[in-house]
Amino acid sequence: MDYVGPIASGIPMSLLLTVLGFAIGAVGGIPLALMRRSRLRSVRFISRSIIELLRGIPPIVWIFLVYFGIGNGLIKVEPVPAAIVAFGLISCAYLAEIYRGGLSAVHRGQWEAGVALGLSHGDQLARIIGPQVMRYSIPAAATYAIGLLKDTSIAFTIGAQEILFFADSQAKQSSDALTPYLVAAAAYIILTVPCAWFARSVDRRLRVRIAS
Partner 1 sequence: MTVLQDWLGFLPQLASGLWVSVVVCLAAIVVGLPLGLALALGSSAGSRALRWPAIAVVEIGRGAPALVVLQVFYFGLPSAGLTLSSTMAACLALALTTAAYTSEIIRGGLQAVPRGELEATEALGMSRPDALRFVVIPQGIRVAIPPLMGFGVLIFQATSLAYTIALPELLGRAYSIGSSTFQYLSVLALAGLMYAAVTIPASLLTDRVERRMSRHLA
Alpha-carbon Rg for the chain in angstroms: 20
The single residue among 12, 37, 45, 61 that binds partner 1, judged by CB under 8 A, is: 61
88 forms part of the interface with partner 1 (CB under 8 A) = no
The yes or no reply on residue 176 touching partner 1 (CB under 8 A) is yes
Q: Among the candidate windows 4-12, 81-89, 113-121, 156-164, which touches partner 1 by CB under 8 A?
A: 156-164
Instruction: Report if residue 105 touches partner 1, rule: CB under 8 A.
Output: no
Whose CA is closest to 12, among 177, 182, 168, 152? 152
| Contact call for residues 160 and 80 (beta carbons, < 8 A) | yes
Cβ-proximal residues to 79 (8 Å cutoff; 6+ apart), any chain: 67, 155, 158, 159, 160
Helices (H) and strands (E) in the chain, counts: 11, 0
| Nearer to partner 1 among residue 137 and residue 153 (C-beta) | 153
Please say which residue, 20 or 187, places its beta carbon nearer to partner 1: 187
Binding site residues, partner 1, CB under 8 A: 52-53, 55-62, 64-65, 68-70, 72-74, 150-151, 153-154, 156-157, 164, 167-168, 171, 175-182, 184-185, 188-189, 192-193, 196
